[in-house]
Amino acid sequence: MSPANSDWEQVNPAITDWTGPLGLPAFDRIDDGDFDAAFAAALPAHLAEIDEIANNREAASFENTIVALERAGEFLDRAASIFWNLSGANTNDTLQALERKLSPQMSRHSSAIMMNGALFARIDQLYQARAELDLDAEADRVLELTWKSFVRSGARLGPDEQARLAEINERLASLSTTFAQNVLADERDYALVLEAPADLKGLPDFLISSMAAAAEERDHAGKHAVTLSRSIIEPFLTFSTRRDLREQVFAAWVTRGEGAGERDNRPIVAEMVKLRAEKAALLGYDSYAHLKLDNTMAKTPEKVGALLETMWDKARARAQEEATDLSRLIAEEGRNHAVAPWDWRHYAEKVRAERYELNEAEIKPYLQLEKMIEAAFDTAGRLFRISFRRHDDVAAYDPDVRVFEVLDAEGARIAVFLADYFARPSKRSGAWMTSFQDQHKLEMADGGDGQIPIVLNVMNFAKAAAGEPVLITMDDARTLFHEFGHALHGMLSDVTYPSISGTSVSRDFVELPSQLFEHWLMVPDVMQRFAVHYETGEPIPEALLAKLGAAQKFNKGFANVEFTSSAMVDMAFHALDPARAADIDPAAFEAEIRAAIDMPDEIVMRHATMHFAHVFAGDGYSAGYYSYMWSGVLDADAFGAFTEAGDPFDGDTAARLHRYIYSSGGSMDPEAAYVAFRGKLPSPDALLEKEGLA
């Protein structure tokens, strides 16, 4: 039930009282225009709860301060979860306008809480006396993380410094929103419509079908469209023999966020880098990278730099060898041009076919999206003894979104899973996991005992033509398994407190469950059962599977140069001191870093700065893009536990994985959680071996 006061009279109760099937919001009863009133009521209601905690006349206790904080803001959480999920996956002009309005408001709201002196005094009192509180390990961890979060948010600063920090946070929130909306607009508005048969030269049938569907969606029925969805543009760059068209679409792809006028993200990045450096200095850190890494496994920019440099040297050397192979093939075709970035995928596919007698067009008929979804579900079931029951009669926010009930071994519902697989203009690019509701065991406002998680996977696969199966690439299949690994991290959470639920772990640990789950895609038993030909139903031939295994480390120089250069540029921006960051040209600085690391001309960063959403469309991966590599060290070693057990589904190993990695959330220090699972910490050698760079 919503709070009973006049502020809620204009609020649509469907936003805060989730009465839909399986405990979902009744999406069909929510209009985009309803959110403004919901936030107008929920924000002050949450602050009233905070004031009540801060001004409690009783002595501070864990229950009346920390637990009370954990419970506060339930209605705001519900409104925010619906709104921000729609903003990412199904946005429109109304939602985007409100997003621009809300971003600074939410920042002000957070600052008002985190800089509440009376509230922090109670938290600090408890933290200083924590040894005497007789808390269990999970409660002690929550107290520690809460205290550190307030300190890192300016709780110990003076009034003037707090005011300036709040201004910075508010401005950064607005800039992040504008950055993201600019990239989405560039992606949404671009389509190269092809009409002549010659424009389709070299393209396999599955891609032609997807491009036809994309064209029809954009009111160009009977034609074909290249969009900036990775599921279309990457295979187009791979198979198209029209070098001029490859160059044209590649230019659009890599210059997202660089449009003239309001869509130019260059001044936005410059201001964000400046403000982030100033924020770090206010909080007593040498740089923003030092601030962000203080609460991670890596701890310092120096440790991150050492890992990145190790990978860079080996990846760049391997990429040079790969470029030589591509140049040879170009020359053998009688062409005299150098390898350009828009050539790499095209000729790499030819080299792979030559070396391994393997090509993407041969593999793709065996990779049906529906069967790969089944494979992910089946793998989770075998590892964690859970199952998935689809509910076609339950509507979500878009007709394409699928709803599943997640059941444990006894048939009890432990989670709800929503899956939004297909690209559309209203969805930002990429793939991600998020949630509508996080798991916890605290008593709810309605008297209920905790809540189960409601988890969402969002992807951007290209639809097939009507009546045809959706075929995906191996990279797409890995993405599906990756994001489902994140989803499992949320769905299997088993903690008491909301703030440490599911994926609420350090940034360089959060990618472990997702990257680790990718390993099961290539387990032979999984591929032979679910990689079946879409026409004949025959399983993928063992010979083809063997070729896939042999080719796993192919083109890894290119892939790691793409990634590592992006991570190095991210760290370089955020390692700047305030003086250096005060007046920076982002494009020139990026070029400077690329020159300093001797970036190969044939390869570009996986995410150029002006569309680097991980880093600038929010704060999640700023000074943290490296975390995929850090977690890569962990996941390469972690799967070794199953290899050593002699069974990729070994029960004892899976039970430890469930307990310490997938269900523990942030209740344990990440190093302690990993050691509890594996018995030791890994070295980078495991990752180098996995990537074929040892």
270-274, long-range: CB < 8 A, 24+ apart = 270/584, 270/585, 270/586, 271/171, 271/175, 272/172, 272/175, 272/176, 272/179, 272/616, 273/573, 273/574, 273/576, 273/581, 273/584, 273/586, 274/578, 274/581, 274/582, 274/583, 274/584
For residue 464, give the nearest of 358, 364, 363, 362 by alpha carbon: 364
Instruction: Give the span between the Cα atoms of 523 and 538, in whole angstroms.
Output: 18
Burial class (CB in 10 A: 0-12, 13-18, 19+), 526: buried
Rg (CA), the chain: 25
Provide the residue type at 373 as one letter: I
Q: Among the options 170, 322, 349, 483, which is catalytic? A: 483
Instruction: Give the span between the Cα atoms of 439 and 503, in whole angstroms.
Output: 11
For residue 558, give the nearest of 306, 231, 325, 230 by alpha carbon: 325
> Does residue 270 contact residue 184 with C-beta atoms inside 8 Å?
no
Q: Is 352 left (phi over 0), alpha (psi -120 to 50) or beta?
A: alpha
> Does residue 215 contact residue 223 with C-beta atoms inside 8 Å?
yes
Distances (CA, A) of 432 to 358, 387, 397, 480: 30, 22, 17, 10
Helix H, strand E, coil C: the string for 364-380 is: HHHCEHHHHHHHHHHHH
**Phi then psi for 286, rounded to 5 degrees?**
-65, -30
- Strand intervals (E) in 493-591: none
**Phi then psi for 225, rounded to 5 degrees?**
-125, 135
Residues with Cβ within 8 Å of residue 187, at least 6 apart in sequence: 227, 228, 229, 256, 428, 429
For residue 369, give the nearest of 238, 460, 485, 486 by alpha carbon: 460
CA angle 465, 469, 470 (to 5 degrees): 80
Q: Six-digit token pair at 286?
A: 């040498």
Q: Is 646 left (phi over 0), alpha (psi -120 to 50) or beta?
A: left
Instruction: Give the span between the Cα atoms of 659 and 682, in whole angstroms.
Output: 19
Helix H, strand E, coil C: the string for 123-179 is: HHHHHHCHHHCCCCHHHHHHHHHHHHHHHHCCCCCCHHHHHHHHHHHHHHHHHHHHH
Residue 40 DSSP symbol: H
Buried b vs exposed e over 386-421: b needs ≥16 C-beta within 10 Å?
A: bbbeeeeebbbbeebbbbbbbbeeeeeebbbbbbbb
454-461 vs 413-422, strand pairing mode:
parallel
Query: Would residue 483 show up in a list of annotated catalytic residues for this protein?
Result: yes
* Greatest extent of the chain over all pairs of C-alpha atoms, in Å: 84
CB atoms within 10 A of CB 588: 10
Q: Six-digit token pair at 478?
A: 């890995």
Helix H, strand E, coil C: the string for 317-336 is: HHHHHHHHHHHHHHHHCCCC
> Does residue 458 contact residue 480 with C-beta atoms inside 8 Å?
no
> Does residue 555 contact residue 475 with C-beta atoms inside 8 Å?
no
Q: At what angle do helices 627-645 and 301-332 cross, to 10 degrees?
A: 80
Q: Tell me which residues are annotated as active site.
A: 483
